[in-house]
Amino acid sequence: MYELVQAVFNGDEKTALHQLIYTLSASGKRYLLRNEILQAFADYCHESQKPAYFYHSSSIGKLIQYTHEIIIEEESTWFVIRPKIANQEVWRLTANLDSFEQMTQQALLDVRDRLVNRYQPGILEIDLHPFYEDSPRIDDPRNIGQGLAYLNRYLCNQLLTDPEYWVEMLFQALQGLQHDGIRLLLSDRIPSGIHLAKQIKLALKLVNERSPHEPYEKFSLDLQELGFEPGWGNTAARVSETLELLDRLIYSPEPGILEAFVARVPAVFRVVLISIHGWVGQEDVVGRDETLSQVIYVLEQARSLENELREQIKLAGLDQLGIKPHVIILTRLIPNCEGTFCYLPLEKVQDTENAWILRVPFGEFNPEITNNWISKFEIWPYLEQFAIDAEKELLTQFKGKPNLLVGNYSDGNLVASLLSRRMKVTQCNIAHSLEKPKYLFSNLYWQDLENQYHFSAQFTADLISMNAADFIITSSYQEIVGTPDTIGQYESYKCFTMPQLYHVVDGIDLFSPKFNLVPPGVNESIFFPYSQKENRDSNLCTEIHNLLFSREDPQILGHLDRPNKRPIFSVSSISSIKNLAGLAECFGQSQRLQEHCNLILLSSKLHPDEATNPEEAEEIQKLHNIIDRYHLHSKIRWLGMRIPSSSLGEAYRVVADCQGISVHFARFESFGRSILEAMISGLPTFATQFGGSLEIIENQEEEFNVNPTDLVETAKKILDFFEKCNTHPEHWQEVSEWMSQRVHNRYNWHLYSNQLLLLAKMFTFWNFVAPENNEARDRYMETLFHLIYKPRAEKILEKHMGANS
């Protein structure tokens, strides 16, 4: 960026820069973000009658396009410039415009602290850079999130560079495999990597003389004589393929061969999925609004992983030895569980053979708090003891250690980190949604928000778990590093301040191969295309149609004067971020939308007195006010009730029968399960441009991604779509089919589970052959835990212990 900065500073455009800064200063704002900066520059160009090219193509125009923040002080103006994804530069311009110099990240953090009058010299600095300095690192930002592919190439290069050493390490990794005392793959008869390479040839000769379909049991003793234990395959053909992959890997290593071989290695049998703060129950008892999708996700995750593990065990020929997969969802036991089964210590997951919900109670503190459900913002004081207690229970249930720990959400990830450290087990993190980027300036003003949200504990927990994790999976690329115009969720942890607590100078390496894209799937037995008439229940269809369009109920607001208009359908919990009120406002402001469409909203609540917190009550009331202000009672149906998943699937299909659309209007959505559910049902879906939906609706972004802050443009996009459908009746059908196939092919649980288990095996192998700086890193994480996290959590506990006293 140096050349561009110099072009502005030393050229004719310096005057324009000075005038722009003067205009910004005159506005009274001292901290401006990208959208405000772009708007201010557009206004400046218009008022100064600049030529059309000036906004985009001038040097200052290009500089402004790259600028994400401007901070104005008396003596200087600071520019935070993002010249490319995952890269940030800080430049300071003095007030008299006599110098423009590049500054450090530390200097930027000091400026932000001064901005809120909370500057503290000598503040603690957190810098994780040294722990990634000597690690393999992705070079191209476009490949961020493709860590597995990178590791495959890296390891194959190592095999080529120093084949003897790496073959020996590969041998040692395979030789150590066992399950419940049963040796797998290799016995002591094979003492070294060199000997393994020779024995593979003999084993291949033996199995290739057999019929391809001959069961492993028929020739197992012959293979054992050569030093090969069970686990290579269930038939002669499968054993031959696996041995051939290993043989090719030793002599001509290629990434595809390595991945195919590692995928077949029987190394994962016991998996723990950690999901703590939700009401993890079944029979549609799936938690509060803030945890609803989380519980659905983890139940489907458990079923899918058990299916995949069972299939892998069978193909490896290990089912004949009585080996079975064992999946545990680890959550908290809630004594006052409001009529649910969340008081049961152990509950089998429906539609599985050996997947269980294991519930561990929180320690004995104040039972007035710990006997009840606890919000994700308040849960932090109980997690350390929970991890200690959970370890004992897991060892009892498994009768041994698990092979993989998967954390879900910030609290689950912290517990996964604690358990991984104690048990020496591979750890995977899934954030789903990080709170810091969702709440604007939440780190900068953390002290003002602390009583309500306790962000100091949460953001510290995030830092600890994301760096301690062996690998991280995300649903989308933007979750890691955003887009050219927006900062990614993980990227927001790269450099930030918690004034008067600590500075994060370098919080995470975004180029680390630990990041991998593994999007979740959809339960296709519940959510399937409306066109599959043979799979639909006609009685349920009639019932749901009446519910959506005509049934009277105390929990339904609105009566449609013209029910045959195209329906706009939106399913969401009620919060300022989910923004149902914004969608209603968009509908209310557009007479043309009201002429052509009805609006149908499905949330869990209808009245403010049903809210569980003040923000929710405020949003519910806001929605009522909008409906009243725009007189929408005859054009809207608002269903404030929970309906079972089977009914929700049919609701999407009923709206599709009417050739309607789905709109997901969140201010930010890290991914969006409801987007997938609507799309696979065959419902053309408009989704927020802020978040992962950009990747879900790939190649159709211009038409179907909407800006929830631009109500006029959103209404225009929807009307343009319906106009196309009216002009070309086949258009709705074409979009419907494309969206349904997009989700079916890209977002399915089989792909997810297969990839997750492959990552677990690869990173376990990687940690064995090249453990890097993990011990030093983990000790640093322990220091952060005891120095910062625990004192912050103890402050929450003090408040809880004083409750009701």
Report all structural domains of the chain as residue ranges with CATH numbers, in order of start: 2-103 (3.10.450.330), 143-175+187-228+232-264 (1.20.120.1230), 270-434+453-488+515-521+758-800 (3.40.50.2000), 533-747 (3.40.50.2000)
The answer to whether residues 159 and 253 touch, using CB atoms and an 8 Å cutoff, is yes
> Which residues are paired to 408 by β-bridges?
430
Question: Per-residue pLDDT for 805 more than 70?
Answer: no
* Out of 306-315, 641-650, 793-802, least confident range: 641-650
Q: Please, which pLDDT band fits residue 2 given cuts at 50, 70 and 90? A: confident
Q: Please, which pLDDT band fits residue 796 given cuts at 50, 70 and 90? A: very high
The answer to whether residues 355 and 349 touch, using CB atoms and an 8 Å cutoff, is yes
The DSSP annotation for 473-496 comes to EES-SHHHH--SSS--TTGGGSSE
- Give the phi and the psi of residue 205 in degrees, each rounded to 5: -60, -40
- Mean of the per-residue pLDDT values for the chain? 92
Q: What is the share, in percent, of the chain residues with pLDDT greater than 70?
A: 98
Q: Which pLDDT tens digit goes with each residue over 600-619?
A: 999 989 999 988 888 889 99
Q: How many CA atoms lie within 13 A of 754 on its CB side?
A: 11
* Out of 383-397, 491-505, 661-675, 694-708, least confident range: 694-708
Q: Please, which pLDDT band fits residue 283 given cuts at 50, 70 and 90? A: low
Question: Pairing relation of β-strands 355-361 and 346-348?
Answer: antiparallel
Among residues 344, 352, 345, the alpha carbon closest in space to that of 300 is found at 352
> Which residues are paired to 126 by β-bridges?
504
> Which residues are paired to 691 by β-bridges?
669
| Predicted local distance difference test score (pLDDT) of residue 54 | 92
Q: How much helix, strand and coil, in percent to the nearest 5, is found in the chain?
A: 50, 15, 35
Q: Where are the alpha helices (DSSP H) in 209-235?
A: 220-225
Question: Pairing relation of β-strands 661-664 and 685-688?
Answer: parallel
- Give the phi and the psi of residue 68 in degrees, each rounded to 5: -105, -25
| Predicted local distance difference test score (pLDDT) of residue 700 | 64
CA distance 426 to 417: 9
| DSSP designation for 631 | T
| Predicted local distance difference test score (pLDDT) of residue 768 | 83
* Out of 159-163, 469-473, 760-764, least confident range: 159-163
Per-position b or e across 27-54, b if 16+ CB within 10 A of its CB: eeebbbbbeebbebbeebbeeeebeeeb
| Predicted local distance difference test score (pLDDT) of residue 212 | 96
Q: Which pLDDT tens digit goes with each residue over 75-90?
A: 899 999 999 899 999 9
The answer to whether residues 57 and 64 touch, using CB atoms and an 8 Å cutoff, is no
Q: Which pLDDT tens digit goes with each residue over 489-524?
A: 999 999 999 999 999 999 999 999 999 999 998 889
In the three-class reduction of DSSP (H, G, I as helix; E, B as strand; rest coil), residue 360 is classed as strand
Q: How many CB atoms lie within 10 A of CB 83?
A: 13
| Predicted local distance difference test score (pLDDT) of residue 552 | 93
Q: Which pLDDT tens digit goes with each residue over 174-196?
A: 998 999 999 999 999 999 999 99
Residue keyed to tokens 């037995």: 525
Residue 308's alpha-carbon distances to 219, 312, 352, 552, 751, in angstroms, are: 26, 6, 12, 45, 10
Helix (H) or strand (E) holding 797: helix 790-802
Please tell me the total number of residues recorded for the chain in this structure.
805
Query: Considering all CA atoms of the chain, what is the largest pairwise distance in Å, rounded to the nearest integer?
Result: 87
| Predicted local distance difference test score (pLDDT) of residue 284 | 53
| Predicted local distance difference test score (pLDDT) of residue 701 | 61
| Predicted local distance difference test score (pLDDT) of residue 13 | 86
| Predicted local distance difference test score (pLDDT) of residue 698 | 74
- Give the phi and the psi of residue 487 in degrees, each rounded to 5: -85, 140
Question: Per-residue pLDDT for 149 more than 90?
Answer: yes
Per-position b or e across 604-624, b if 16+ CB within 10 A of its CB: bbbebeebeeeebbbbbebbb
pTM: 0.90
CA distance 67 to 4: 12
In the three-class reduction of DSSP (H, G, I as helix; E, B as strand; rest coil), residue 107 is classed as helix
The DSSP annotation for 228-251 comes to B-S-S-SBHHHHHHHHHHHHHHHH
Q: Please, which pLDDT band fits residue 468 given cuts at 50, 70 and 90? A: very high
CA distance 167 to 252: 12
The answer to whether residues 605 and 580 touch, using CB atoms and an 8 Å cutoff, is no
Residue keyed to tokens 């690690």: 135
The answer to whether residues 77 and 92 touch, using CB atoms and an 8 Å cutoff, is yes
| Predicted local distance difference test score (pLDDT) of residue 453 | 94
Q: Which pLDDT tens digit goes with each residue over 310-345?
A: 999 999 999 999 999 999 999 999 999 887 888 999
CA distance 193 to 184: 16
When comparing pLDDT for 446 and 767, which is higher?
Answer: 446
The answer to whether residues 509 and 87 touch, using CB atoms and an 8 Å cutoff, is no
Q: How many CB atoms lie within 10 A of CB 84?
A: 11
Question: How big is the chain by its Cα radius of gyration, in Å?
Answer: 29
- Give the phi and the psi of residue 246 in degrees, each rounded to 5: -65, -40
Residue 591's alpha-carbon distances to 372, 596, 632, in angstroms, are: 47, 9, 11
CA distance 636 to 121: 56
Here the tokens at position 438 are 């969702």
| Predicted local distance difference test score (pLDDT) of residue 341 | 87
| Predicted local distance difference test score (pLDDT) of residue 281 | 81
Q: CA angle, corner 704, sides to 703 and 709, nearest 5? A: 105
Q: Which pLDDT tens digit goes with each residue over 17-67?
A: 889 998 998 888 999 999 899 999 999 999 999 998 899 899 999 999 999
CA distance 115 to 92: 15
CA distance 744 to 681: 10
The answer to whether residues 597 and 568 touch, using CB atoms and an 8 Å cutoff, is yes
Question: Per-residue pLDDT for 639 more than 70?
Answer: yes
| Predicted local distance difference test score (pLDDT) of residue 485 | 85
CA distance 145 to 321: 37
The gap from C-alpha 186 to its chain's centroid, in whole angstroms, comes to 38
